[in-house]
Amino acid sequence: MCGIVGIIGGRPVSRLIYHSLFAIQHRGQSSAGKLTYDGNIHVTKDSGLVRDVFNEEKKIDTPGNVGIGHTRYSTAGMDDIESLKKNAQPEYLVNPFLAAVHNGNVYNSTEISINTKRRPRTDCDIQWLLLPMADELYKKELSKEVIFTACEKVMKTAKGSYSALFIADSGENPFLFAITDPYKIRPLVLGKNDGMYCLTSETRVFKKINFEYVKDVPGGSVIIIDKKGKIFEKQLIKKPEKPCMFEFVYFAKPDSRINDRSVHNVRVKIGRLLAQEHPIDADIVVPVPESGRRYATGFSRESGIPLDEGLMKDKDERSFIQQTQESRDKVVEEGLSYLRSVLGEKRVILIDDSIVRGTNIRKIVKGLRIAGAKEVHIRIGCPPLIAPCYLGIDMRSKKEFIARSSDGRIKSADEIAEEIGADSLGYISIKGLEDAIGFETCRGCIDFPGGYPPDLQKDAQKLYAADHKGMRAYECLK
């Protein structure tokens, strides 16, 4: 899961991209970068947060009326600093000039590598979109027809999920163009302002840079924008869209919209349904900040149990997307304070978005009890996570899921409650989640393999079998 942005128009775009990256920082905290183009390539990228990478004025202001930016949450490559630096995006080639950023996971790298003579410079799967696209555009005079043809060939080869942005140049007329996978697993939206256009992961970017939302880019589409603001679009592969349910549950910010659905409203509705599905007699509803707040609002409104802030967040970091378990634990330990005046002698309903490994929630339950909570009842806005995601979320081993036992059995909620020290545990049902979202989603991680799009289920099973053997490479697809 990453954040991407691309802007093109009649004036410099560097500052707009810089500000946009802050609006999508939550989508990736391992590296950040931007590239602008004016006939020359101006690129800055490194490991770390946006504020750390762009720490000088000369890095923020670079020439060019077209550019792309990226915040990375790594799902490929190692997690050491050198790897994070190496795999930072944007990535680019010079012959032909082609730059790209991407959100998702292209999992058939072995197959694609056989069909390109170019060697990848990094471990990141952006290479398996960039290299074949460059092959298709090599020694061709750029036009919208040439780009459409190249994109169609790449999209028919790549397997997995992708919303990707590219910059290409014919020498006189640079193009910003985008492709989305047929199921539109990863979000991509289009905005505009005074002849300038922006393609990005979340609608909240438009508020940050004062652009107007135009549309969600459909799945299986190519959209091309030239420097004059002309837009050319084709939906090359049409299938029922299945956006990632975890965008609604966790990744997207509540002030964003996905397929015209408010993320905030969806989470509040999930909270209401949680109260209906798993009622409990208690004194207060307490959210885990910030991820549980909207669910807790809905739960409180539906149940009539008052909402109170029993936890305070001290650090603005997301534990789920930290690169190591040690760093996840550190965020939890250093990032929360417990209010005895709120929690003491209370029967507490603790609300959060999801449980993956169980490490965080276990620590929080312990903290609540130390602060004087009489009972702790957990309610979760996502069904139990039981299988790895192969489409862009870093849940790569089934061993990481508290909901699965070592022999592969799905644990009951009562068993998990005992493990984390809670008095009770209730998850939203799959039906409740789908009802709250309002349309079908990709939910392979909670309903394996049937929750994956139909065309990807066999591959997911092969990848799962490889994972069971301790393999992390994708040779199993050969």
Instruction: Name the residues annotated as catalytic.
Output: 2
Which string of b and e fits 167-198 if b means at least 16 CB within 10 Å?
bbbbeeebbbbbbbbbbbbbbbbbbbeeebbb
* Distance in angstroms (rounded) separating the CA atoms of residues 294 and 264: 7
Q: Do the bridges between strand 261-262 and strand 257-258 make them parallel or antiparallel, or are there none, so unpaired?
A: antiparallel
Q: How far is CA 232 from CA 138, 143, 155, 225, in A?
A: 21, 11, 17, 6
Report CA torsion sign: 14, 18, 19, 21: positive
Q: Torsion-angle region of residue 358: left (phi > 0), alpha (psi -120 to 50) or beta?
A: left
Report DSSP letters for 284-348, one per residue.
EEEEPTTTTHHHHHHHHHHH-PPB---EEE-----STT-SSHHHHHHHHHHHEEE-HHHHTT-EE
* Distance in angstroms (rounded) separating the CA atoms of residues 385 and 86: 31
* Distance in angstroms (rounded) separating the CA atoms of residues 301 and 307: 9
Q: Which residues pair with 31 in a beta bridge?
A: 47, 72
Helix axes 144-157, 127-137, angle to 10 degrees: 140
* Distance in angstroms (rounded) separating the CA atoms of residues 77 and 49: 18
Whether the CB-CB separation of 163 and 201 falls below 8 Å is answered with: yes
What strands lie across the sheet with 189-193, from one edge to the other? 41-47, 31-37, 66-72, 3-8, 196-200, 189-193, 212-216
* Distance in angstroms (rounded) separating the CA atoms of residues 345 and 343: 6
Q: Which pair of tokens denotes residue 236?
A: 């090359």
Closest-CA residue to 200 (of 439, 453, 22): 22
Residue the block writes with tokens 């490889």? 466
Q: Which pair of tokens denotes residue 198?
A: 């922006």
Percentage helix, strand, coil for the chain under 3-state DSSP, each rounded to 5: 35, 25, 40
Closest-CA residue to 392 (of 326, 305, 456, 435): 456
Burial class (CB in 10 A: 0-12, 13-18, 19+), 350: buried
* Distance in angstroms (rounded) separating the CA atoms of residues 423 and 425: 7
